[in-house]
Structure formats: C-alpha cells, structure tokens
Homo-oligomer: A and B are copies of this chain.
Amino acid sequence: IVEKAGSNVREFKKGDKVAVESIMWCGRCQSCRSGFPNQCKHVELMGLSADGAFAEYVMVNERYCWKINDLAEVYTEEDVFDIGALIEPVGCAYNGIFIVGGGFNPGATVVVYGAGPIGLGAITLSKIAGASRIIAFDVIDERVKIARDIGADFAFNINKLDGCTPCNKVMEITRGWGADIQVEAAGAAPKTIPEMERSMAINGKIIYLGRAATSTPMHLDTLVSGANKIIGARGHSGHGIFPSIIRLITAGKLHLEKMITSRYPFENIMEAIKASSARKDGKILITNKM
C-alpha cells in the first residue's frame, strides 16, 4: 500500500495498492534507453544488491510500481497482496516466452522443465495463450501435482518414467513432431538441455531461464536441421509485462492463487526460506493472511 507519495509522483497516491518490480533499472544507460530494462548496466536487485522487501515499509521509485487496486474486483482485500506478489515470477516466465522468446501461435506444444514459481508461471501463461498441449516435468511429486492442477495437460516425475526418457515422452505425445517451445526453469541444464535437444519441432525454441553455473555439453548440430533456437532471458521489467498480467488477473482470466502452496507469517520468515530450499512447494508467501 502506498503510504506516502513523493511530491513529484504523478501516478500514485496514498492508499493505492501496488505491485513492485524488483529489478531497479536506471533509466539512463544504453540498455534502458533502448527499451531493455532487464539488461540495465547499473541495475540494482531489490533484496539482493539493494534493500529488500521483507520489511514493513520500502521506499521505491514510482517507475517500478504498478497499481493493483483493480484486483479487488476479483479478490478479497488481503488476497490482493498475495496475488500481487505472484506477478513477479509469472512476469519472468512472460518475459522469457513472449517478449524475448517471441511467443507462439495458438496450437503450439509447450514443454516446461521445473515446476517452481517461474515454471508454474510458464505453464499457466501457456495455457491461457493457446497451447494445444502442455507437458511438464519435475523431480518432486508434489510439484508434478501442482503443475497438473494449474494447467499442464501432462505432468511427469522425471524419476518415475519407467525407463522412458523425457524426450521420448515428448516425441510420443507429439507423435514424432516434437515441441515448439521448451522452457528450462529447473536450473538443471546439464540434465534437461540434452533431453530438449532431442525433442524439438521444426523452428522449435528452447527458452533458457534456469540457473546452473556449470557447463552444459551441447550437440549444436541438432539446432541446424530444424532451424532451432536457444534463447536466454531474465527479468520481468518493461515491455508491458506487469500491466498485461494485472489486466489478465482483473479480467478473471488468469488464476494464480493455485500457485500458492504455503503461507508463512512475517515473524516466521526464516522458516519460509528454509522450506523454499526443499523445493516441494509452488510459491511460498510471506503474508498476513493464513
């Protein structure tokens, strides 16, 4: 909630509910001026390089804020903030698939590796954007289940495929055509990329969002025959991402509440962070609502 608006602030006033981008782009470097705030040269990340949001009040520049007052049309007062907190991870998926990745036309097959907050965002966005089939993989049963609940047509625990590999599964479901878009949101590139390489459709794309500070052995020639692409992306700022997601939620077309699997009160914050590393949850929220 906006508690106090600076005197130069034009768009917000006391009492406005807002969602805040956590990428604090400078607005002056060449990347920012070229429309790529997620590649800002002088970026500060809220909660990492800058002060974070696990605090009662935060002071943020107007240009990172988006009004979410309208969410109250579909959610209760307290749910508005919970949903608002999900815009950021869903925004990362939006940026990867639709902005940097160029999106897909209705009827495409989408495969998502990793059903954490960003992976779940990829699934739910692909569902509302007209994928004909969404196939999800994770290594934890709980997350496989959430993936299915939130919109995956097929969801598998990679470790329980009965000898079948993920790429075979994709080829089987697509009858040998392969996947049009594959999202790496598992942070396990050395394991997932080789599978993806072998299940790409013609003009297929791999959207690489995950983090794995290791080397991944690739057979690049597999990119050649299908005119395939690997596309890296990060961030959620710019490109109309936040307002698009807010509009979808307000219109009742994007239901993110299923992503929330645990809620912790403010005082149990360390416990929440611990739970987060177990990777069994969808999105864990720090919230006043229980």
In the complex, chain B residues whose CB is within 8 Å of the CB of A35: 34-36, 238-239
Contact bitstring A89-104, B, C-beta under 8 A = 1, else 0: 0000010001110010
Contact bitstring A120-136, B, C-beta under 8 A = 1, else 0: 00000100111011000
Contact A208 B232 (CB under 8 A): no
The answer for the CA separation of A229 and B99 in the assembled complex, in Å, is 13
Contact residue among B34, B221, B229, B232 (Cβ-Cβ distance under 8 Å from A226): B232
The answer for the CA separation of A209 and B215 in the assembled complex, in Å, is 22
Shortest beta-carbon distance from A123 to chain B in Å: 13
Contact residue among B28, B221, B226 (Cβ-Cβ distance under 8 Å from A211): B221
Contact B227 A229 (CB under 8 A): no
Contact residue among B106, B129, B209, B218 (Cβ-Cβ distance under 8 Å from A224): B209
In the complex, chain B residues whose CB is within 8 Å of the CB of A223: 208, 230-232
Contact A98 B106 (CB under 8 A): yes
Contact A217 B220 (CB under 8 A): no
* A261 interface contact, C-beta 8 A: no
**Which residue of chain B lies nearest to A214 when distances are taken between CB atoms in the complex?**
B219
Contact A234 B244 (CB under 8 A): no
Shortest beta-carbon distance from A67 to chain B in Å: 11
10 A-B pairs (CB sep. < 8 Å) = A98-B106, A103-B103, A106-B248, A107-B243, A107-B245, A107-B247, A153-B251, A215-B218, A215-B219, A223-B230
A window 128-168: CB within 8 A of B: 128-130, 132-133, 153
Contact A220 B225 (CB under 8 A): no
In the complex, chain B residues whose CB is within 8 Å of the CB of A11: 28-29
**Which residue of chain B lies nearest to A246 when distances are taken between CB atoms in the complex?**
B107
Whether A234 contacts B240 in the complex (CB less than 8 A), given A28-B11, A63-B27, A217-B215, comes out as no
Contact B98 A39 (CB under 8 A): no
Shortest beta-carbon distance from A72 to chain B in Å: 16
The answer for the CA separation of A210 and B92 in the assembled complex, in Å, is 32
In the complex, chain B residues whose CB is within 8 Å of the CB of A251: 132-133, 153
Contact bitstring A40-73, B, C-beta under 8 A = 1, else 0: 0010000000000000000000110000000000
The answer for the CA separation of A230 and B232 in the assembled complex, in Å, is 9
Closest 8 CB pairs of A and B: A35-B35, A223-B232, A107-B244, A224-B232, A129-B130, A132-B247, A215-B217, A132-B251
**Which residue of chain B lies nearest to A233 when distances are taken between CB atoms in the complex?**
B227
In the complex, chain B residues whose CB is within 8 Å of the CB of A34: 35, 202, 238-240
**Which residue of chain B lies nearest to A64 when distances are taken between CB atoms in the complex?**
B33
In the complex, chain B residues whose CB is within 8 Å of the CB of A203: 36, 39
Whether A208 contacts B224 in the complex (CB less than 8 A), given A128-B130, A202-B31, A240-B105, comes out as yes
